[in-house]
Structure 1
Amino acid sequence: MGSGPREHAIAWKLCQSKTVEHVYVVPGNAGTAMLGKATNITNVTVSDFARVVLLAKELGIGLVVPGAVQYFVDDIEGYFRGTGIACFACTKEVAQLEVSKPFAKDFMIRHDIPTARYQSFTAAGVEAAKDYILQVPYPVVVKAAGLAGGRGSIIPSSKEEALQAVDDILVHQKFGREAGSSLVVEEYLEGTEVSILTLSDCNGHTWTFPTLQDHKRMYDGDIGPNTGGLGAYGPTPFVTPTLMKEIEKSIVQPALEGLLFEGLKFVGCLYTGLMLTSSGPRVLEFNVRFGEPEMQSMVLLLDDETDFAEVLLACINGTLDQVHIDTVPGFACNVVMTGEGYPDPDLDHGGEVIEMRDTGSDAVFFHGQTRMEDGKLTTGGGKPLTCAVIRDTLREALDAAYEGVASVSFRGMHYRKDIAARLPNFSDYRALIHS
């Protein structure tokens, strides 16, 4: 369910599963339409869950995989509960961990999960939020409380910009009424970001993917507005086994156990966005679904013996410990290409013809908002294409990804040229990294 590059990557991997007869994508895009074992269904509104359930029954579907968190919030899991059709989604109550920044921050405090200092404010507390910003002795990040398509975190460069961010979110409703009903003012953390994706089944079995690093800011050098992610690579060479054990012990397991303690059993993929600071890992955010653009690299890392459909079904059935799941050696990297105007929804538009030159490369192009018009591939706004590759070394993966990007052109095309260009200096991590 969905039409973005993450959904294309999921469908691409499911098409390789030996246990899968056919994949239907609602509504899909031009890329999913090109998959040999898949069919797009565009005459059903994807948000009409009652109709989607009927469609799944008519087609004899065994597994439903929603992509975007909005489906979770709107209770897709509840619609499929009791139908006999497996749905890889957490409950709408668990989804609050992603969709409500105040809920997530309060949850972390309750369960001693390390995170940044913060304070939450409602729309009635504009002046209180501004007073708080002026009083705290550290730089801050201002986050819209609800879903904002990855754009709701504003990193101001001054107190004045932080005050303006409060007005943008709470007064001007820049990210919409629901997202801007409240906000969180959070301590800005220095360090290096890393993404942790953990599968969890209904019996508490877990499996964590290799760590990846996303690149959220719009321009090279990590400047400009936040986006939904412009590229990701992994595994990250600086997250050692020792550090990973520390992260699982102090963050991932306490989060899953905390949810269970509060009557919110987690089934699905827990995405943990971390900042590795000089004082140790700190949680930036939790998501309750596969990451994007992380997923475009992750599917390349899974080995040929991993049947992705079996793995997702095992999460739902409580048998994750009984299925094969493993990764191949090497590094996967992806580079996202955006359209003109992105990420501003008022300026972002589509309709541009995409030219793709055949280079004979094995790079995989995952589509976002693309469509075929009069036999021509065109953009539909947002992030039309992601070029993903896997190689033995990170350097080789980066070179191959950018070679793939060079074979694509469309008017207004933009991409970051510094994916994985700045590996961190972890001299302050000697206490944690010693393996």
Structure 2
Amino acid sequence: MNILLVGSGGREHALAWKIAQSPLVKRLVIAPGNPGMEKLGELIALKATDAEGLTALAREIKADLVVVGPESALEQGLADRLAAAGIPCFGPTRKAAQLETSKAFSKAFMERHEIPTAGYGVYERLHEAREALAVFRPPYVIKADGLAAGKGVAISTDKRDAESEIERMLGGRFGAAGARVVIEEFMSGEEGSLFALCDGQRAVLLGGAQDHKRAFDGDMGPNTGGMGSYSPAPVFTPELVEAADRTIVQPTVAAMAAEGMPYRGVLYAGLMATDAGPKVVEFNARFGDPECQVLMMRLEGDIVPLLLACARGDLGRAPAPAFSGDTVICVVMAAKGYPDSPLEGSIIRGAEQDFGPHVQVFHAGTKRRDDGQLVAAGGRVLNVCARGADIAEARERAYAAVKKIDWPGGFYRTDIGWRALERG
């Protein structure tokens, strides 16, 4: 098979690493990719948002399957263009991807179909959003409607702070993504990420993970795209998973098909385990990042038949996904200044050494200089992942690897996995 993988981050590096292991793969092309993927496939310098160029590339290489990593490509309608060209795509259409690309759409969809989530309101005018704060109790949850690279969420305990966040969002902080804001009820509980493979009619659970959104230890600092993750996540008890599948995942896939937007790809349900059962915090229309990295390291067997079955709409014929009993943890190394103003260009040494059979380092935001030096080229730069018999062993191996990387321009959290460790 010839496969085109779209994207350039740690999520895509992990997918490339897993796809490249498949005996079915004849040719793997990655656009645009990053230095960490150089040995896994052919890198083509096309942006993930260039839907027309990527479709032409898929035709050129006679792709049997296109795997879409980032949400930005989905929002540009890449899956729609590929469908028109008759090329199977792992990733939803632009309309179906609205589950992620528009929080207002997603909340209204869940309301229509009685999928459990927090109460909400959608506002375009500043005075209306300010007045609406009187309806909600603190902490106030304020979200930009559109895509904001995982940073368009603010939780404020103070009404004045909440008003300031609303002003910043509606005032253009996130561009068009913040033209509308969603204000939600605050949900108490523990959050986790549940993933399901979907073929338009069916959904098969793929497993869960838990990530750390805040930039600094102790869950302090600004929200980020994710500073670390681990799988399995103890919050996902068998009872919780069964309830989430029954009340959230299956109804969502059925309702999307009924509304003429059959969902194909991976459905990421960010869930809150509340006293009233699991509720949706938000949907994403792609693998989480950095959750994908730990899932790919735990996934046993060949991933390609699963991806192809989703794209072709015949998931019922594919083998059920199987996972190792190990725990895998991911520690994100980010550039200083992230998430607001990450410093780019600092030299990274030691990231490409052999860390042994239990550790994988996925590149998230790197580039290679003309002299061959690896340098930071983004906010989240490296994903150091390790497996172990339990969370303690995986964590020890991951942080031992982190300490072998010489990168003064970076930082990382030292407490990834703390919730799981506390549970014992």
Taking only aligned residues, the RMSD between alpha carbons, in angstroms, comes to: 1.7
Deviates more, 1:405-414 or 1:63-72: 405-414
Q: Residue 328 of structure 1 is aligned with which of 318, 324, 328? A: 324
Deviation at 1:355, TM superposition (A): 1.3
2:134 aligns to what SS in structure 1? helix
Give the drift of 1:251. 1.0
Distance 2:53 2:105 in 1: 31
1:238 is paired with a residue whose SS is coil
Q: Which amino acid is 1:158 matched to?
A: D
SS in 2 for 1:148: coil
1:7 and 2:12 equivalent? yes
The answer to whether the Cα contact below 8 Å between 2:243 and 2:277 also exists between their aligned partners in 1 is no
SS at structure 2 position matched to 1:115? coil
The one-letter amino acid paired with 1:187 is E
Alignment of 1:112 with 2:114, yes or no, is: yes
Q: Contact 1:361–1:404 (CA<8 Å) still a contact in 2? A: no
Residue aligned with 1:128, SS: helix
**Alignment partner of 1:355 is 2:355:** no
Question: 1:62 aligned to 61, 64, 72, which one?
Answer: 64
Bigger CA drift: 246-255 or 348-357? 348-357
Alpha-carbon distance in structure 1 between the residues aligned to 2:106 and 2:162: 22
Closer, same or farther: CA 136–46 of 1 in aligned 2, 3 Å:
closer
Q: Does 1:142 align with 2:106?
A: no
- Alignment partners' CA distance in 2, 1:266 and 1:126: 34
CA–CA distance in structure 1, aligned partners of residues 145 and 54 of structure 2: 29
Identity of aligned residues (%): 38
- In the aligned structure 1, how far is the partner of 2:61 from the partner of 2:260? 34
d(CA) in 1 for partners of 2:422, 2:273: 11
Pick from 326, 338, 341 the counterpart of residue 342 of structure 1. 338
Give distance in 1, aligned partners of 2:133 and 2:86.
51
Q: Deviations over 1:318-338 (max 9, x none)?
A: 222222221111111111110
* Equivalences for residues 76-225 of structure 1 within 5 A: 76-122=78-124, 125-171=125-171, 173-176=172-175, 178-202=176-200, 204-225=201-222
Question: Which whole-Å CA distance do the structure 2 matches of 1:412 and 1:406 have between them?
Answer: 14
- The alpha-carbon deviation at position 240 of structure 1 amounts to 1.8
Q: Quote how far apart the aligned CAs of 1:253 are.
A: 1.1
**Which residue, out of 62, 70, 73, partners 1:71?**
73
Q: Which secondary structure state, in structure 2, belongs to the residue aligned with residue 396 of structure 1?
A: helix
Corresponding letter in the other structure for 1:372: R
More strand by share: 2
2:3 corresponds to: none
Structure 1, unpaired ranges of 5+ = 427-435
Equivalent pair of 2:240/2:277 in contact (CA under 8 Å): no
Q: Which runs of 5+ in 2 are unaligned?
A: 1-5
TM-score, normalised to structure 1, is 0.91
What is the Cα deviation at residue 67 of structure 1?
Answer: 1.0
93-102 or 135-144, which moves further after superposition? 135-144
Relative to the length of structure 2, the TM-score reads 0.94
Aligned partners of 2:306 and 2:315 also within 8 Å: yes
Q: What is the total number of aligned residue pairs between the two structures?
A: 414
SS in 1 for 2:12: helix
Tell me which residue corresponds to 1:389. 386
| Letter of the structure 1 residue corresponding to residue 108 of structure 2 | D
Structure 2 CA distance, aligned partners of 1:396 and 1:201? 36
* CA apart distance, 1:209: 1.7
Q: 3-state SS of the aligned residue for 1:271? A: strand
